[in-house]
Amino acid sequence: MSSTTGVTAPRPYESYVYAYPHKTAYRPLPDRPALRELWAGERKDALSLYLHIPFCEVRCGFCNLFTRIGAPDELTTRYLDALDRQATAVRDALTGPGQGGAEPVRFAAAAFGGGTPTFLDAGELDRLCDIAEKRMGADLRSVPLSVETSPATATADRLAVLADRGTTRLSIGVQSFVDAEARAAVRPQRRAEVEAALGRIRDARIPVLNIDLIYGIDGQTERTWRQSLDAALAWRPEELYLYPLYIRPLTGLDRLGAGGDAAWDAQRLSLYRQGRDLLLAEGYEQVSMRMFRRPDSLSGTQADGTWANSAPANSASADRSPRTDDYACQTDGMIGLGCGARSYTSGLHYSFDYAVDMRQIRTIIDTYTATEDFSRAEVGRRIDADEARRRHLLQSLLQAQGMDMAGYRERFGSAPAEDFPAELDRFADLGWLDTGAGPGLLRLSPEGLAYSDALGPALFSPAVRAAMAEYEVK
């Protein structure tokens, strides 16, 4: 496909940039820095808190999340025990000696993701909330709290706990209301079960309902895609996420030999535009390529999941961090608890080991549950000035509202066109930049938003690209 200037556009679905740098660019940290040292001098007045639960009742064919099926032998109890130990160690690192004590630790947003957090039973969910509140000091009833769920685990008792503990947003991975498409995506569910779960969620009176849908499933047509869109709209969700299907290494669909080509790209792009146009006509506003929000929904509850913890693409339980007016994902810190969570300081992103293969995941979870000392960062990537610029530009530009260039200059002392002239010139030649944006605003055109999964990877640094290419998938 060519742009209006005659420049040939790349394939539209290179990679979903849900975080930068990607975890496949992380490596073991030889110095294993102490968390107390990492957080000394960091701002702690508007942190985001993320708790990761790496369990699901089934694993969908498209899923490459860090999650395992089931939790035998009281594994959830042992996992929550480890989560409690980790939370204690992290809180000590944030508030203990060497932190000065001048600046209080405050969380501006919280999220539970995975995996499927509602895989935990009602009592375990209560304990999860206690860890966030009593160990970490987050006030879940006064900040946005986003939780992921699935149709099978959105039970009335679990939802009652979440509503009582202050959940403001519940995201459910439906993916398709068409049973044949759910089967094609290796997602065992029936529409009747999905509708019943949505009814229970509405009965729980959690303020924001998000429904995830996927386009590009084998056998999907414009007619069946419209059926899913209409079925979702019947619930008047405050948010809708429209995800293109990806076939990732070591996933169920990959093992089945599913794959993509130019025709599949064209189909997904066509279905995206169909969904986008319908939601805009229904009064939703576009927040990013994937996210659409009702203007009358709870203000400021949710930022785009592009800037959250683990890989949410096509997941029933993608972890996304809510945003409040005083939380900026470009600059504020992230505390991630759990073996699939990542944490961000200004100079280091860190986590635990990452895998997709079920056997590898089980080993990592077992190692996590046996860990006693959580006082050091084990795996991560340093963030230098160039990477900080790239991350800021990515996080801002992939949002439909665009980026305030004055804020960029205030932070970095330069303009985006000075730091990334070749990339921005290419985006302009492709018609991806909005020429009608006001002065001081860098914003994508509708076509640029449609090509977000090509534009984002084009801003990766050579070093991150090399590290990702060298990563051995496991």
Looking at residue 210, its pLDDT comes to 98
**Distance of alpha carbon 116 from alpha carbon 319, whole angstroms:** 9
Give the type of residue at 4. Answer: T
Q: Quick check: helix, strand or coil at residue 133?
A: helix
Please report, in tens digits, the pLDDT of each residue of the chain (474 residues total).
445 556 677 899 988 888 899 999 999 999 999 999 999 989 999 999 999 999 887 765 555 566 677 787 899 999 999 999 999 999 999 997 655 555 689 999 999 998 899 999 999 999 999 999 999 999 999 999 999 999 999 999 999 999 999 999 999 999 999 999 998 887 878 999 999 999 999 999 999 999 999 999 989 999 999 999 999 999 999 999 999 998 755 444 434 444 557 888 999 999 999 999 999 999 999 999 999 999 988 644 333 333 333 333 333 333 333 334 444 565 679 999 999 999 999 999 999 988 877 888 889 999 999 999 999 999 999 999 999 999 999 999 999 999 999 999 999 999 999 999 999 999 999 999 999 998 899 999 999 999 999 999 999 999 999 999 998 877
Looking at residue 60, its pLDDT comes to 56
Looking at residue 98, its pLDDT comes to 58
Looking at residue 62, its pLDDT comes to 55
**Distance of alpha carbon 152 from alpha carbon 173, whole angstroms:** 10
Q: pTM of the entire structure?
A: 0.90
Residue 403's contacts (CB-CB under 8 Å, 6 or more residues apart) are 393, 396, 397, 416, 441, 442, 443
Contact indicator for 318, 107 with CB cutoff of 8 Å: no
Structure tokens at 375: 């006082």
Looking at residue 328, its pLDDT comes to 57
Looking at residue 316, its pLDDT comes to 30
**Distance of alpha carbon 23 from alpha carbon 26, whole angstroms:** 5
Structure tokens at 388: 């900080």
Contact indicator for 322, 110 with CB cutoff of 8 Å: yes
Q: Quick check: helix, strand or coil at residue 322?
A: coil
Closest CA to 148 of 131, 177, 169: 169
Looking at residue 5, its pLDDT comes to 55
Looking at residue 327, its pLDDT comes to 45
